[in-house]
Amino acid sequence: MNDIYTFPKDFIWGTATASYQIEGAWNEDGRGPSVWDTFAHTEGKIDDNTTGDKTCDHYHRFKEDVALMKKMGLKNYRLSLSWSRILPEGKGGVNQKGLDFYNDLIDELLAAGITPFITLFHWDLPQALQDAGGWANRETAYLYRDYAEIVTKALGDRVKNWMTHNEPWVHTMCGHFFGNHAPGLTDLKKALQTAHHMLLAHGLAIPVIRKNSKGCRVGLVNNLEWIEPASSSERDKAAAARHDGAFNRWYLDPLFFGSYPQDMMEWYGEDVPQIEAGDMKIISTPMDFLGVNFYTRRIMAHDSQGNFLNCRQVRYPFMRKSDYEEWENNAEGLYRLLIRLKEDYNSPELMITENGTPLQDKIENGEVHDPDRIDYLYRHMGAAWQAIADGVDLKGYFVWSFLDNFEWCLGFTKRFGLVYTDYESGKRIVKDSGRWYEKVLKTNSISL
Ligand code: IFM
């Protein structure tokens, strides 16, 4: 018989989504365009030539979606807000209809007994702000604080869990250096300045959120990886340390230590961001928790012909066929990462705010069988369980995602959901993994 692993009594189980990926209604009820509308509407930017114009149509189907969450026994839901739905120009006049959408959604969730966890920024910067220089413009950090003020004043009476940003690494590096995400820039200096202003915005918003949402808990969500050198050679070890510096530490050290990692400051040289006096103190304002989005481990080798870090990712031959491109199903990596956060960052309170895997799900006789997803989730939840047993202050776990949705530059080619979305009809079908998760929620434990 399989072992059963039971979680602490108050463990927070949930699922997550993001505004641009599920809402649709891109130009309805006064919503202004975001950088993602512009990017997705540009020929050749999205693998399958799709956009988030309609996607899951959650804007119109939110009641049905909340009812489904309730039926599945979900008690916590992480969502993000579209800044340009609330402030079409990113600043200035509020679009009341946009704010009302979120008011209604929050009320619907609460009535269903589901606690909302809100991310203020999940990459969809209002296009009007991008036109004024975007995050590379310091002013955007202060406009973000104003946006946080408006939102938390309106929703802070009912929402008590806030996340300032989702995955600043992705928005800064994919959006401003690799260019495969909106706004599609390829400038390292701008990317690092963007990261700095996003972190500054985070610090500026914390007191605002706390003022308007009494008794709330606020954190920032980073995508973090467990990183290993491809061999024990000094060169591979140094390559892995650089990748760790650029990917993990650049977004952790400022929050916890009030400084950027020195080795990376040296590596980036002239590209380091401009930092004004007092910035690092604001950025390191203590938060209540750190959100961890974990998908994979990464194995790095030295390669002077490789990327900007002189690194190359090594794909191990024993990775499974179903592993998503370079994303290996490696739950031990999650365990090690959680222990590392405890050891290196002074035991912060943690929440796994995303974890999941994309598969080529198919409907068979009205059902979706996704055993590989159940296997992935079981192993990663197991890693979370073990980390708690070993003293990590881990308070919750959110599956990415509640339902299949628009996967950014990959369009609709990847399905991550516990619930299958038929994009033509809008129909939702709970996958086997969704039913398995229902059991996890009911029993507060995992087993296969
Ligand atoms: O879909 C994304 C999400 O928006 C942010 N974290 C990773 C997910 C899967 O790629």
Residue 350: exposed, middle, or buried by beta-carbon count in 10 A (0-12, 13-18, 19+)? Answer: buried
pLDDT (tens digit per residue) in 120-143: 999 999 999 999 999 999 999 999
Instruction: For ligand 1, say whether the CB of 124 is within 6 Å of any of its atoms.
Output: no
User: To 10 degrees, the CA torsion angle through 223, 162, 79, 26?
Assistant: -100
Instruction: For ligand 1, say whether the CB of 354 is within 6 Å of any of its atoms.
Output: yes
Which atom from ligand 1 is nearest to the alpha carbon of 166? 5
Distance CA 21, CA 59 (A): 11
Question: Do 183 and 171 form a contact (C-beta atoms < 8 A)?
Answer: no
Give the H or E element holding residue 151. Answer: helix 139-155
Using the mean position of ligand 1's atoms as its centre, give its distance from the Cα of residue 8 in Å.
Answer: 27
Distance CA 186, CA 175 (A): 8
Instruction: For ligand 1, say whether the CB of 293 is within 6 Å of any of its atoms.
Output: yes
pLDDT (tens digit per residue) in 88-123: 999 999 999 999 999 999 999 999 999 999 999 999
User: To 10 degrees, the CA torsion angle through 15, 19, 23, 28?
Assistant: 160
Per-residue DSSP letters for 306-347?
A: SSTTSEEEPPPTTS-TTSBTTB---HHHHHHHHHHHHHHTTS
Using the mean position of ligand 1's atoms as its centre, give its distance from the Cα of residue 1 in Å.
Answer: 35
Residues sharing a CB contact under 8 Å with residue 192, sequence separation 6 or more, in sequence order? 172, 268, 271, 272, 273
Using the mean position of ligand 1's atoms as its centre, give its distance from the Cα of residue 196 in Å.
Answer: 21
Per-residue DSSP letters for 223-249?
A: E--EEEESSSSHHHHHHHHHHHIIIII
Q: b/e per residue, 260-271, with b = 16+ CB within 10 A?
A: bbeebbebbeeb
Active site (annotated) includes residue 438: no
pLDDT (tens digit per residue) in 191-247: 999 999 999 999 999 999 999 999 999 999 999 999 999 999 999 999 999 999 999
Question: Do 400 and 355 form a contact (C-beta atoms < 8 A)?
Answer: yes
| Phi, psi angle pair for 401, to nearest 5° | -140, 170
User: Could you tell me how far CA 197 lies from the centroid of its own chain?
Assistant: 18
Written as one letter, the residue type at 102 is: Y
pLDDT: which is higher, 406 or 306: 406
Looking at the chain, the whole-number percentage of residues with pLDDT higher than 90 is: 95
Answer yes or no: pTM beyond 0.95: yes
Using alpha carbons, select from 24, 47, 162 the residue that is nearest to residue 101: 24
β-sheet bridge partners, residue 243 = none
Instruction: For ligand 1, say whether the CB of 407 is within 6 Å of any of its atoms.
Output: yes
- DSSP letter assigned to residue 429: E
Looking at the chain, the whole-number percentage of residues with pLDDT higher than 70 is: 98
Domain parsing of the chain, residue ranges: 5-446
Strand order in the sheet with 297-302: 226-229, 297-302, 311-313
pLDDT (tens digit per residue) in 269-326: 999 999 999 999 999 999 999 999 999 999 999 999 989 999 999 877 666 655 555 6
CATH architecture of the domain covering 5-446: Alpha-Beta Barrel (3.20)
**What is the reported pLDDT for 3?**
86
Task: Compute the mean pLDDT over every residue in the chain, rounded to the nearest whole number.
Answer: 96
**What is the reported pLDDT for 442?**
98
Using the mean position of ligand 1's atoms as its centre, give its distance from the Cα of residue 368 in Å.
Answer: 21
Q: Which of 23, 167, 228, 328 is catalytic?
A: 167
**What is the reported pLDDT for 316?**
72
Mutating to test ligand 1, I would choose from 354, 380, 404 the residue with most ligand atoms within 8 A of its C-beta, which is 354
pLDDT (tens digit per residue) in 388-405: 999 999 999 999 999 999
Active site (annotated) includes residue 354: yes
Which atom from ligand 1 is nearest to the alpha carbon of 400? 8
Which atom from ligand 1 is nearest to the alpha carbon of 21? 4
Mutating to test ligand 1, I would choose from 119, 416, 421 the residue with most ligand atoms within 8 A of its C-beta, which is 416
Beta carbons within 10 angstroms of residue 233's beta carbon:
12
